[in-house]
Amino acid sequence: MCVVCGCSEHVTPHQEHAHAHAPEADPVAKNPINGDLHFGAGAARVSVPGMSQARAIKIETDILDANNRVAQQNRAHFEAHGVTALNLVSSPGSGKTTLLCATIEALKARAPDLHVAVIEGDQQTSFDADRIRATGAPAVQVNTGKGCHLDAPMVAEAFAQLHSHHDHPHDHGGDHLHHDRHHHGGHGLLFIENVGNLVCPAVWDLGEAAKVAILSVTEGEDKPLKYPDMFAAAQLMILNKIDLLPHVRFDVARCIALARQVNPNIEILQLSATTGEGMEAWLAWLLAGPGVARAARSQNVDVLKRRIAELEAQLAARG
């Protein structure tokens, strides 16, 4: 999807857009409607009586609707392929790629049948995908150009690339139907390494099972509070580079408290991708699948719902 106007054209410079934008509109001064009319007030929201040249249209469409529809297709697609997709988000330099390389190496020994693939998002270069490919795992680099995040259509295309370029056992015809689940020798893991940015990727659903936020101890411990939207959207926070803790001023307890302040349900793992410390818990989390945590969370929700029902019953009894 074009990052500039959201159209599906794959043209980067906006000037070259082939799709027709509407002809020029008159400036607002020519507007026949009285400027006093407040759009949000009363009946004017749906109709403007006595002004036949103007009409109101109710839309109520999510601005991210186009992205979210593709994200849902991705989700169904991953499901059909038996793939658990994780959206890895962090600042630049938190060690995402190093963590992925170490994870892929460790999984080779731990779960040799697991099919692991990576989609790498960066503004430029294929350095990260090259590093992943050096481990033997298939990887596709997505360069976003001026874009600050991956979106669902980018991931859809990258996933298709992974399948057309990497030992795919069967040929998908023109249209890609999933009457039966076709797995690649069992379950698969897809890591989507988002563009290093703790702001924008929080808003774009890619079709992932969970967002994993990575924070290294060389950054500030207060990042969860500085970039709350991302930590609120993440299911798991990984504190990376803990081997450096003796050399930096980083209050782990405060960092965890701040993350829980923003997201009371967030799971937290501490590890060092370089020394391997703490990797065992991360591998276990991956192999258990984020579905386990979801089940625990829905149990939590059930408990809360029961509590609400009890309180409502008490209220009713009082009333």
Partner 1 sequence: MHEASLAGGVLQVVEDTARREGFSRLLELRLEAGALAGVDVRALRFALECLAPGTLLEGARIEIEEPTGLAWCLACSQTVTVRQRGDACPACGSYQLQVTGGMELRVLDMRVSDD
Instruction: Give the type of residue at 76.
Output: A
- 287 with 110: CB under 8 angstroms? yes
Site string for partner 1, 45-74 (x = CB under 8 A): xx-x----xxxxxxxxxxxxxxx-------
DSSP 151: -
For residue 103, give the nearest of 230, 261, 278, 319 by alpha carbon: 278
Site string for partner 1, 132-151 (x = CB under 8 A): ---------------xxx-x
Q: Does 36 bind partner 1 (CB under 8 A)?
A: no
Q: Which is nearer to partner 1, 76 or 199 (by Cβ)?
A: 199
Q: Which is nearer to partner 1, 60 or 171 (by Cβ)?
A: 60
Distances (CA, A) of 124 to 14, 70, 153: 19, 24, 18
Distance CA 168, CA 112 (A): 17
Q: Does 33 bind partner 1 (CB under 8 A)?
A: yes
Segment 205 to 244, residues that bind partner 1, using CB under 8 A: 224-225, 228-229, 232
Segment 169 to 208, residues that bind partner 1, using CB under 8 A: 199-200, 202-204
Q: Contacting partner 1 (CB under 8 A), which of 76, 292, 296, 304? A: 304
Using the rule CB under 8 A, give the single segment among 132-140, 238-246, 261-269, 274-282 that binds partner 1. Answer: 261-269
Residue 77's Cβ-count burial label (10 Å; 0-12, 13-18, 19+) is buried
Q: Which is nearer to partner 1, 30 or 181 (by Cβ)?
A: 30
Min separation Cβ 125 and partner 1, Å: 20
Distance CA 200, CA 212 (A): 15
Distance CA 282, CA 290 (A): 11
Q: Structure tokens of 180?
A: 């039966």
Q: Which helix (H) or strand (E) holds 87?
A: strand 83-90
Min separation Cβ 103 and partner 1, Å: 28
Min separation Cβ 28 and partner 1, Å: 5
Q: How many residues bind partner 1 (CB under 8 A)?
A: 59
Q: Does 7 bind partner 1 (CB under 8 A)?
A: yes
Q: Which is nearer to partner 1, 64 or 160 (by Cβ)?
A: 64
Q: Which helix (H) or strand (E) holds 214?
A: strand 210-216
